[in-house]
Amino acid sequence: MKKLLIGVLALFLAVGLTGCGSGGNSDAKTLTVSATLDPHSKILEEAKPILKEKYDIDLNIKVLDDYYIFNKALDAGEVDANYFQHRPFFEGEVEEHGYKIVEAAGIHLEPFGFYSQTIKNIQDIPNGAEVIISNSIADHGRILGILADADIIELSDDVETLDATVKDIVSNPKNLKFTEIKPELLATSYQNGEGDLVAINGNYALQADLNPTQDALIIETVDEDNPYINIVAVKKGNENDERIQALIDVLKSDEIKTFVEKEYKGAVLMVD
């Protein structure tokens, strides 16, 4: 009986230790990545069979919609990586919360756009128009920069556009009024006809069947210096994990680039 108990205890300990892998994974051939629904999780779904065939890695995709859960979960080791955010948001999160996470690679860019149910031409923006924007501070410079590029507002020369807030507007001829809401509610706000203009993040626009290049009244200028590239983030020290490197290799493959070009028709742009 004593030998039997010792054997059972040993088996229990072995099973327990086997289940203690990083990111909640017990299998070194499994990779768990959190992502927003569109385009991130759809791109990952396309990458999944390629990752399995080429590297024998099973990709587990967790779809979330609250921006502020992702990095907290990654830092806590609940996932191996996340794929949903651009660099300024990531950097702001790390600075604010002290997360021990890093960028593993830049993957794509989603042009940010302003949408309207009532305005068909930029010249027809009414005086005192309500502009609904994200309450994510990391998005404010980007949003205001688009309006400044369109000559709708003017920003102070004393601030970098990336860091601009509504307090840095020095000229506002249309007397635009800004209302902030959660990013995940922007598309719903637009669909409900709220506000005159709604600035919608690319992924949420896609979920609402909006194509930035076709439907936006005002769209972001896209060039190679654009800082808003969406990244894969991992816990610090895991950048060179073979599974992470395999995922990045697949995401940057010609197969994924071809898929994105056909699926999103310019609404998502892969980067080298």
206 vs 23, more confident: 206
42 and 52 in a common domain: yes
- CA gap 126, 134 in Å, rounded: 21
Kindly state the tokens that stand for 12.
């229990």
Residue 3, pLDDT > 90, answer no
User: Does residue 122 share a domain with residue 86?
Assistant: no
Count of structural domains, the chain: 2
The pLDDT-based confidence of 223 (bands split at 50, 70, 90) is: low
pLDDT digits (tens, 9 = 90+) for 246-270: 999 999 999 999 999 999 988 898 9
Is 49 in the same domain as 184?
A: no
47-72: average pLDDT: 96
Q: Is residue 117 domain-shared with residue 208, that is, in the same domain?
A: yes
Domain boundary among 183, 203, 219: 219
Q: Is residue 12 part of a domain?
A: no
pLDDT tens digits, residue range 100-152? 999 999 999 988 899 999 999 999 999 999 999 999 888 999 999 999 999 99
**Which of 3-28 are b and which e, b meaning 16 or more Cβ less than 10 Å from the residue's Cβ?**
eeeeeeeeeeeeeeeeeeebbbbeee
CB 139 within 8 A of CB 183: yes
209 and 78 both lie in a single domain = no
Mean pLDDT of the chain, nearest integer: 89
User: Same domain, yes or no, for 30 and 107?
Assistant: yes
CATH number of the structural domain spanning residue 59? 3.40.190.10
164 shares a domain with 121:
yes
Determine, yes or no, domain membership for 11.
Answer: no
**Residue 265 pLDDT:** 83
| Residue 161 domain boundaries | 113-219
Say if residue 79 is in the same domain as residue 99. yes
